[in-house]
Structure 1
Amino acid sequence: MIEQKFQQFKTSITPEEFNNIEFLTSKAEQMKENDEALAKRILVRVNNLNKQNANNQKAKIKPNNPESNPLHLVSSDDAEKSDKNTSSRLAAIYSRLTSSPFLVLVIIPTLIFAFYQNFWATERYESQAQVIVQQPDGMATMDTGLALLSGMGMGMPTSGKDTELVKAYIYSNDMLNYLNKTLDLKAHYSQSTVDYFSRIHNSDSREELLEFYKKHINVYIDDKSGVVNIFSQAFNPDFSLMLTQTIVDRAEWYINSIGHQLAEAQLNFIKGEHQIVENKLEVAQKNLLNFQQRYNLLDPMAEGAAMQQITYTLEGQISAKQAELKGLQSIMSAKAPQVISLQNTITALKSQLINERNKLSTDSAQNIPVSEILASYTDLKIKMELALQAYTSSQVSLEKSRIEAYRQLKYLVVVESATHPEQNKYPDVFYNVSLFALIISMLFSIVKIIILTIKELR
């Protein structure tokens, strides 16, 4: 179609104009808006004329020996044939590409991606290590009674939260900052010898560096055994080994530090509460001791009981003497010496009974009644007993907390040390190319179905 238009254009102008470069260039500029394909074909003719003129100038350098010149002059007919062959080839390639979009959109991108994966993508080496979080066996350090008191049982396994904590810390920004300070991780991942698509760039932000780091560090947790598998990728095997070992060492420090911090915080809190209870017990004991020293009484309760026993004894003696007095009065006169003596004895006993009763209940300026002393003493003694019980419970809680704090200590045990890779694991060329081809084929099919559906609906 283009060649037909070009032949029509050729017949519409003179041979001089057909061989005039300036005329053809101006015509191509005029036709570019209306017929771009014909304009390009005219420019091909202009290009061939330029080559022909260059060859003619080289041929004129040695006019006396034309046979020694390797460049032969090309006639206008040969140039025209060459133009036709070139244009036909370009037209054939263009028609083939436009007639096969699957080739353009699927096959060629896949081949380009395969070339990148095989010959351009930088090799990555992967080192791995296995660790597990363990707790000490508290039953091995105490007797059975103390273990039951502390509530500890046999075989306390670590929870899944501990392994998830290790995983979260490895993926954290704190770990990335530590690796940057220790190994200069960013410098390794941004080497100029690494291909453009496999490295990070100096203009990348901290968030982009963290995402790149997460893509090259893989942490997998075995739910059955609780083993944490750590995989680290680097662009050379030695750095991969150092990277994995540094991650394991830092994770071990982190687990140990948080275990000690939690245990220390818990113990400090319990010790503070225990100190408060101990101070209360000391105050109660001091108040009780001061009370005893103030009234010179070792045991006011025993003193009160003794005074009550004295009053009971006096009352009994008075009753006996009064009965005896009645018997004497029935046989003797009121002035008899025995009667008078017995009356004096009864009077003395009654006076003593009144004094003893006053000690128990009467409050005077000099003395406090025994009942009040006994009530105060009982109150102080109850306070001391309550403080003693609280101190005993606090002491048990303190020992229990110490055991619990020891039980909460965790250790990161290395199951498998960091390995030194000998062969690169990435890129996985076959997998990557196959996945790329599959995805791009699916996208092509989806787009083609959408286009056909739209055409059908029209």
Structure 2
Amino acid sequence: MTTHTTELRFQQFKNEISEDQFSSIEFLMAKAEQIEATDPELSARILVRVNNLRKQQATISRRLENNSVEKNPQHKQNLSKTSSNVVQKVSRLGTMPFVWLVLLPTLVFGIYQAFWASERFVSRAQVIVQQPDGMATMDASMAVLTGLGVSNTGVADTELVKAYILSNDMLMYLEETLELRQHFSQNGVDVFSRVGPDDEWEALFDYYLTRIDVYIDSNSNIVYIETQAFDPDFAHTLTQTIVERAEWYINSIGHQLAEAQLTFIQHEHANIERRLQDAQTGLMQFQQRYNLLDPMAEGMALQQITYGLEGQISAKEAELKGLLTMMSPRAPKVIAARNSLEALKSQLEKERGKLSDGDYNTLPVSEILTQYTDLKIKTELALQAYTSSQISLEKSRIEAYRQLKYLVVVEAATKPHDAKYPDVFYNITLFGVLATMLFVIGRIIVLTVNELK
């Protein structure tokens, strides 16, 4: 954009002067010096035109170079002086600001990095979240019943570990256990690398996040932990404490969830078990009260006996009527038939009297069967509920076992021997590159603004 604008102004300048003036080195040099202060870009472009004219003249007069030198030695001196002026004018553009805005700050930053910046030691650890293998402790049918074939351990657990390590709770625990603020605010550390001893808690938390790095390998779900400290022993202790606290956190979550679920299921199972015991006790008391093992079976047997006696009584009555039509009421056969009929009736009354209680109050068979059926249904329903509750309890115990997660240490906290930070060469190089880029961008902006005025 800047080059294009300069060329446009140069073409406009060319159109405003004559052809002789455009080919005159002296005129162009005077014009370039005249507008150098107000329009340095156009002045530099005119000087380029001067150089081109010099090259053209050098090519044309190459064959007559010796004669030209002898006839006009001052001309060669002017040419050399003009070329030198052009180079000086071009080189002056932007040299001094670059020194002050790029080279000097980079030098100061390099001195700080090399001689003043405090060394920081890095300790590393690798952990992963695992769960028990429930499939190895039960048969396939129970595994399908409890859903143990599907594991939910994965990204969620590792992200939970990462979030807890980078949380305010972890910082509070480290401050209480290791006095983190005291280490990171000691006087032996340079002022740019430490935290203030009287800074707010939020400032300490932000500083803590700059001294710890946690990232997760998406392929293996391994959590990598790196901590920085001004002492190798403290860096090792810090990483080890973070790993131990993260392990406690994962185990406590699994225990809390499992305990809450199992407590609820056990309470419900106790209620259902009590209902089953009450139903069984009521059924047993009913059987003992009427001295019946199975009222339904005994009632059916009693009905069959009663029906048989009633059939026999009907047959004897018919036989007695037949005998009375042919014989006298005092006949031996008539008397025997009448006695047999009375015996059958007495036996029928006796069978029916078996359903009487101690007070000789008759209880109908239908009422006994109805009460017994109600008690038996209640007992069966309570038994079914108890069976379902027992299955739920076993499932809950297995689920609680599944939720017991634990942290496996893949690599224990390392103890550093050499300081990793600051990386002097990398930091100085990066600072110089960024300063140069900012200078170039700023220079472009300044030149653009000047052209638009």
SS at match of 2:114: helix
Residue correspondence of structure 1 range 407-418 to structure 2 within 5 A:
407-418=402-413
Counterpart in the other structure of 2:148? 152
Deviation per CA, 1:69-123: give whole Å up to 9, x if none: xxxxxxxxxxxxxxxxxxxxxxxxxxx8997433333333232222222222111
Structure 1 residues 367 and 108, CA gap change in structure 2 (3 angstroms): farther
What code does the residue aligned with 2:99 have?
A: L
Counterpart in the other structure of 1:112? 108
CA contact (8 A) 2:120 2:230 kept: yes
Q: Does 1:267 align with 2:259?
A: no
For 1:348 and 1:131, how far apart are their aligned partners in 2? 94
What is the deviation of 1:174?
A: 1.9
Residue correspondence of structure 1 range 46-57 to structure 2 within 5 A:
none
What code does the residue aligned with 2:128 have?
A: I
Counterpart in the other structure of 2:400? 405
Residue correspondence of structure 1 range 232-247 to structure 2 within 5 A:
232-247=227-242
Counterpart in the other structure of 2:27? none
Q: CA RMSD in A?
A: 3.0
For 1:107 and 1:393, how far apart are their aligned partners in 2? 81
Counterpart in the other structure of 1:300? 295
Counterpart in the other structure of 1:130? 126
What code does the residue aligned with 1:152 have?
A: L
What is the deviation of 1:157?
A: 7.0
Q: Does 1:427 align with 2:422?
A: yes
Counterpart in the other structure of 1:223? 218
For 2:308 and 2:110, how far apart are their aligned partners in 1? 119
CA contact (8 A) 1:126 1:234 kept: yes
What code does the residue aligned with 1:421 have?
A: P
Q: Does 1:377 align with 2:390?
A: no
The counterpart of 1:183, out of the listed 175, 178, 188, is: 178
Among the aligned pairs, what percent are the same residue? 65
What is the deviation of 1:408?
A: 1.6
The counterpart of 1:280, out of the listed 251, 275, 279, is: 275
Structure 1 residues 457 and 352, CA gap change in structure 2 (3 angstroms): farther
Counterpart in the other structure of 1:197? 192
Q: TM-score, normalised by structure 1?
A: 0.70
What is the deviation of 1:284?
A: 0.9
CA contact (8 A) 1:359 1:369 kept: no
What is the deviation of 1:173?
A: 1.7
CA contact (8 A) 2:353 2:362 kept: no
Counterpart in the other structure of 2:99? 103
For 1:423 and 1:394, how far apart are their aligned partners in 2? 62
Deviation per CA, 1:358-416: give whole Å up to 9, x if none: 9889xx99233221121111111111111112112222222222222122212212111
What code does the residue aligned with 1:110 have?
A: T
What is the deviation of 1:232?
A: 0.7
Residue correspondence of structure 1 range 354-393 to structure 2 within 5 A:
366-393=361-388
What is the deviation of 1:217?
A: 0.7
CA contact (8 A) 2:213 2:226 kept: yes
Counterpart in the other structure of 1:207? 202
For 2:381 and 2:313, how far apart are their aligned partners in 1? 44
SS at match of 1:110: helix
Structure 1 residues 335 and 212, CA gap change in structure 2 (3 angstroms): same
For 1:199 and 1:454, how far apart are their aligned partners in 2? 42
Provide structure 2 residue ranges, at least 5 long, that are not aligned to the other structure: 1-91
For 1:254 and 1:216, how far apart are their aligned partners in 2? 21
For 2:348 and 2:200, how far apart are their aligned partners in 1? 100
What code does the residue aligned with 2:118 have?
A: T
What is the deviation of 1:310?
A: 2.1
What is the deviation of 1:450?
A: 4.2
CA contact (8 A) 1:134 1:157 kept: no
The counterpart of 2:431, out of the listed 419, 431, 436, is: 436
CA contact (8 A) 1:359 1:370 kept: no
CA contact (8 A) 1:139 1:153 kept: yes
SS at match of 2:388: helix
Aligned residues: 360
SS at match of 1:220: strand
What is the deviation of 1:342?
A: 3.3
The counterpart of 1:163, out of the listed 155, 158, 167, is: 158
CA contact (8 A) 1:128 1:419 kept: yes
For 2:273 and 2:395, how far apart are their aligned partners in 1? 17
SS at match of 2:419: coil
Q: TM-score, normalised by structure 2?
A: 0.71
What is the deviation of 1:218?
A: 0.7
What code does the residue aligned with 1:203 have?
A: D
SS at match of 1:204: coil
What is the deviation of 1:455?
A: 4.4
What is the deviation of 1:231?
A: 0.4
CA contact (8 A) 1:191 1:199 kept: yes
For 1:452 and 1:292, how far apart are their aligned partners in 2? 111
Provide structure 1 residue ranges, at least 5 long, that are not aligned to the other structure: 1-95
What code does the residue aligned with 2:209 have?
A: K
